[in-house]
Structure 1
């Protein structure tokens, strides 16, 4: 999407916009944008993940809430984030109707239990693999599931940052 040079030279708001497509926490995006220029994509990635690790619960909730339920990608349009979401879930969307229906039921049960959507870095996973993981995590205690959910969100942020800014 952007070269590192273009990202470094972009207006602050433009840089924040591309970053919030990676992670919806505006505080995270503003902090990362204010750290420019970055000498390498690797240094940008390191700063991004260090900043992610410093997010408080409120900002993690903002970032988490920006993700659609697995199997229900954002509608067409919506910029880079929506396109990435559709692409990340594309393999899962090829599952048969029975798997997608069961996934919707497990998503609903997960949301009732934990108060947020089930989140997984879905890139390359089949609907069946995602369903099995959702069922497993549905049985987790709150603390364990929170840790797993944050780890998955971090993976998604890293993946999207790689798509957003290249050498």
Structure 2
């Protein structure tokens, strides 16, 4: 297993495949109207703190990110945003002088996604994380809310929780789903895209931070 394979294994959604779909496949792909509740308890409950992660990213980590083989880096980046075009653009624009430049480039690439590419990325997302030890009624409520959202919009609910304390996660997710369920699809699409961009930046920071542990190996 290569260092970048280890990076992919440490992403926020390790159970989610990085398999990509072509845009024409996404156009006809529709997920089922319900989500099996048993998927919820098995998701990891970690919440990233961006400031802490960014502080751990030094020059050695950026150097390893900038010199990693392109094909391996693309695979790791697909764990941040499930758009092949996004992953390729971030890879092709190397080298980056620092993390802030990398995150700015990732943002720009995300803003340039076409509707079909955004649908591709959203189709690859997994369910929102719950804190470890959340009570069973919370899983039931969240499962019902997820099912209603997916039935309305055709993809799972996405929300970035990087700045949310673990004890506030459940309320933030449920409040967010219930609020956004009132949106029209045209209103929800840019909101989902913004949350996806925020998720991608947090995951990308974790990818680069992981290179700190690979330095010298």
Same fold (TM over 0.5): yes
Bigger RCO of structures 1 and 2 (CA < 8 A, at least 6 apart): 2
Q: Is the 8 A contact 1:99 1:127 kept in 2?
A: yes
Moved over 3 A (4+): 122-125
Query: Residues 1-167 of structure 1 correspond to what in structure 2 (within 5 A)?
Result: 3-70=61-128, 89-91=129-131, 93-123=132-162, 124=164, 125-166=168-209
TM superposition score normalised by structure 2: 0.63
How far does residue 10 in structure 1 lie from its aligned partner after superposition?
Answer: 1.1
Distance 2:134 2:175 in 1: 13
Distance 1:126 1:133 in 2: 10
Q: Is the 8 A contact 1:99 1:131 kept in 2?
A: no
How far does residue 49 in structure 1 lie from its aligned partner after superposition?
Answer: 0.7
For this pair of structures, how many residues does the alignment match? 148
Q: Deviations over 1:15-69 (max 9, x none)?
A: 2122111111111111111111111111111111101100111111111111112
How far does residue 129 in structure 1 lie from its aligned partner after superposition?
Answer: 2.2
Structure 1 residues not aligned, in runs of 5+:
71-88
Q: What is the root-mean-square deviation in Å for CA atoms of aligned residues?
A: 1.8
Query: Could you say if the C-alpha distance between residues 90 and 99 of structure 1 is closer, same or farther in structure 2, counting changes exceeding 3 Å?
Result: closer
Structure number, greater radius of gyration: 2
Q: SS at the partner of 2:79?
A: helix
Q: Deviations over 1:59-117 (max 9, x none)?
A: 111111111123xxxxxxxxxxxxxxxxxx242x5332112101111111111111111
How far does residue 131 in structure 1 lie from its aligned partner after superposition?
Answer: 1.0
Structure 2 residues not aligned, in runs of 5+:
1-6, 8-59, 213-217
Q: Is the 8 A contact 1:8 1:37 kept in 2?
A: yes
